[in-house]
């Protein structure tokens, strides 16, 4: 067993929990873990725990309107604040309603610990009222899950849960709590020490792997850094910036990596992929060396795998370049794209060592490469056609106005739902601060934004926390506005209302001959809905009044607030890499008159 794997087979016992019920032990342990907020929903099987929490100072319980909302609040708390998010729900449907947040957290590497009630151990397996095999259901949706079978093992299981959730690549853990275990009184000495094998620290970075990466970067003529959420998890954004500027390497990020590199920096290529910038996609296809830091080559980033990064693959066969992958989780390396050099370990340590060994770059090849990228930026910016006076405004205009009114601040956190609005936010808001974006990546969970921004605001109450949402995504969890109002969590929701499931309609327009099946939405009056839930509601229906409406939205701090913006129903999100296409085979807005993919490929040849 490796030195960085901890397992206590003869752990020390203690009598400090004697005489306490399981529920009291639970409260004691989560206090030791520094848990200040719990999101959840009560029920019969978990009532002993809720009763134990009653009156406890230092633990704020936030009652969601649905268990899925509680799970996303825990995610938002973790993503914005960097701590573990905690959810507490009852058995059966209470537990199964958390499957979506668990899978969302697993795919995006988000540390949450979920505690679920369960029927008594004597009734497990009998199809008792509100019983569900939550371990079997959530095993593929968690890093680890466990059912506590005896009160004496409870402290240890809680320690193990938090350890696993935060070790290596973070993720979700579920602990199932049978009702009789939580009501039982501890009568014996017990051990709270961890007794399962898990990685306590990242693998030590190997010097030969770092040296190989440095050598490849030194000979690169057209390098690019592709940064993911691992840069944020590893808190190595300073090292990333220093390396990019020292070696003059342009940087593109994933959706979840936004904020890891200041997008106002001239070396920034912004987000890449399906709805990423054209210049990032062209640069990825033309680069001879790709340094991937804390990302996993998701299909939304790579496009058609066979034609991903052709120049880097060619350079690899000729011994003059290739792909470098820095990653903390070994199973992510080579899963989709085979790297030529892999550096397993914490990204902060890996980048730090590369930074020490790399030399400043001022070569003619590098200047030509950056010049080519500047040309692509000028030719292919994020753009759209603005609405004529009197017409419904474009959704991009709304996001640009939000950015213009907040760009001088460094205390803004943006959450999103999932859909066109999410991609427009990525394109038209400039991301400059770490942990400033809270969004659902791998699972693409509609309804994520409304509760997630509540969790974010709870984690960082001194910041302005705004959910950019679409009407369809917002409607899935809109009831959580009442949660924010009840607990005085002054979150903000900016709803782009086009009365459609916009992204699905876009696909129907482009690939299904405009057959709009099940995508048009008959929405409620969102302003009245907000007011019914004790929030302030504002509506903006024209571009001319947008500035004033946005100012009112941003400066209202007496309650949670919603701004509904009525936007063009027919707007599409471009550029777009369609399913089955390569990164350079982007579809552009018809009016932009972009060159064909073949002509564009000709322009990315080595200078």
Catalytic machinery residues: 67, 129-130, 179, 503
Cα(160)–Cα(169) distance, integer angstroms: 15
Classify burial at 466, counting beta carbons within 10 Å of its beta carbon; exposed 0-12, middle 13-18, buried 19 or more. Answer: buried
3-state SS string for 332-351: HCCCCCCCCEEEECCHHHHH
Rounded (5°) CA angle 240-245-249? 80
Q: Which residue has the tokens 């825990």?
A: 74
Strands 289-293 and 223-227: parallel
Residues 6+ apart with CB under 8 A from 42: 50, 63, 90
Q: Positive or negative, the Cα torsion across 78, 84, 86, 92?
A: positive
Cβ within 8 Å of residue 285, ≥6 positions away: 308, 309, 310, 311, 582, 583, 584, 601, 604
Cα 383 to Cα 396, 497, 572, distances in angstroms: 9, 20, 12
Angle, CA 277 vertex, CA 276 and CA 281 arms, to 5°? 85
486's CB contacts (< 8 A; 6+ apart) are: 63, 534
What are the backbone dihedrals phi and psi of residue 455, each rounded to the nearest 5 degrees, phi first? -60, -40
Angstrom distances, CA of residue 478 to CA of 39, 408, 437, 445 = 17, 30, 20, 14
545, 553 contact by CB (below 8 A):
no
Strands (E), 328-411: 341-344
Supply 203's token pair.
């693998």
Give helix 278-286 / helix 310-317 axis angle, nearest 10°. 10
How distant is the alpha carbon of residue 363 from its chain centre? 37
User: Which residues does residue 227 pair with via DSSP β-bridges, in sequence order?
Assistant: 253, 293
């Amino acid at each position: 067993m490796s030195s960085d794997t901890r397992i206590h087979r003869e752990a020390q016992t203690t009598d400090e929990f004697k005489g306490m019920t399981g529920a009291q032990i639970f409260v004691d342990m989560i206090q030791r873990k520094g848990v200040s907020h719990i999101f959840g929903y009560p029920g019969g099987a978990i009532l002993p725990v809720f009763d134990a929490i009653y009156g406890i100072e230092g633990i704020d319980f936030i009652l969601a309107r649905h268990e899925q909302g509680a799970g996303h609040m825990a995610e938002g708390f973790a993503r914005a604040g960097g701590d573990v998010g905690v959810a507490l729900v009852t058995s059966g449907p209470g537990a199964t309603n958390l499957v979506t947040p668990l899978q969302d957290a697993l795919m995006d590497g988000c540390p949450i610990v979920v505690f679920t009630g369960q029927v008594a151990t004597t009734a497990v397996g009998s199809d008792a009222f509100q019983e569900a095999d939550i371990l079997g259901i959530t095993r593929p949706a968690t890093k680890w899950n466990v059912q506590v079978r005896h009160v004496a093992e409870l402290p240890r299981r809680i320690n193990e849960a938090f350890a696993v959730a935060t070790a290596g690549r973070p993720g979700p853990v579920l602990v199932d709590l049978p009702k009789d275990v939580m009501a039982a009184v501890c009568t014996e000495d017990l051990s709270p020490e961890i007794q399962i094998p898990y990685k306590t620290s990242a693998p030590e970075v190997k010097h030969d792997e770092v040296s190989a990466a440095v050598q490849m970067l030194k000979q690169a003529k057209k390098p690019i850094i592709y940064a993911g959420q691992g840069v944020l998890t590893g808190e190595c954004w300073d090292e990333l910036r220093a390396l990019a500027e020292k070696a003059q390497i342009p940087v593109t990020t994933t959706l979840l990596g936004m904020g890891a590199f200041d997008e106002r920096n001239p070396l920034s290529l912004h987000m890449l992929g399906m709805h990423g910038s054209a210049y990032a996609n062209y640069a990825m296809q033309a680069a001879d060396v790709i340094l991937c830091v804390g990302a996993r080559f998701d299909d939304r980033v790579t496009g058609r795998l066979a034609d991903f990064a052709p120049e880097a693959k060619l350079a690899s066969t000729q011994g003059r370049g290739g792909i470098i992958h820095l990653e903390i989780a070994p199973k992510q390396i080579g899963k989709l794209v085979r790297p030529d050099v892999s550096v397993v370990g914490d990204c902060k340590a890996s980048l730090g060592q590369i930074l020490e060994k790399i030399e400043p770059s001022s070569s003619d090849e590098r200047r030509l490469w950056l010049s080519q990228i500047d040309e692509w930026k000028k030719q292919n910016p994020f753009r759209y056609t603005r609405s004529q006076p009197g017409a419904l405004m474009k959704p991009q205009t709304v996001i640009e106005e939000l950015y213009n009114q907040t760009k001088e601040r460094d205390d803004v956190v943006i959450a999103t739902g999932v859909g066109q609005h999410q991609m427009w936010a990525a394109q038209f808001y400039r991301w400059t601060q770490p942990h400033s974006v809270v969004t659902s990546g791998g699972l693409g969970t509609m309804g994520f934004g409304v509760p997630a921004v509540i969790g974010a605001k709870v984690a960082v109450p001194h910041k302005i926390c705004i959910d950019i949402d679409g009407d369809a995504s917002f409607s899935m969890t809109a009831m959580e506005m009442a949660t924010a109002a009840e607990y005085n969590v002054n979150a903000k929701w900016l709803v782009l209302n086009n009365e459609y499931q916009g992204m699905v309609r876009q696909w129907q327009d482009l690939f299904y001959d405009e057959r709009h099946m099940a995508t048009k939405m008959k929405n409620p009056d969102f302003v009245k809905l907000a007011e019914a839930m004790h929030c302030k509601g504002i509506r903006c229906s024209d571009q001319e009044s947008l500035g004033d409406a946005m100012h009112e939205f941003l400066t209202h701090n007496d309650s949670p607030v919603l701004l509904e913006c009525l936007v063009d129903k027919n707007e599409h999100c471009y550029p777009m890499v369609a399913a089955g296409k390569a990164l350079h085979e982007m579809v552009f807005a018809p009016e932009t008159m972009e060159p064909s993919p073949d002509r564009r490929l000709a322009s990315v040849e080595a200078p």
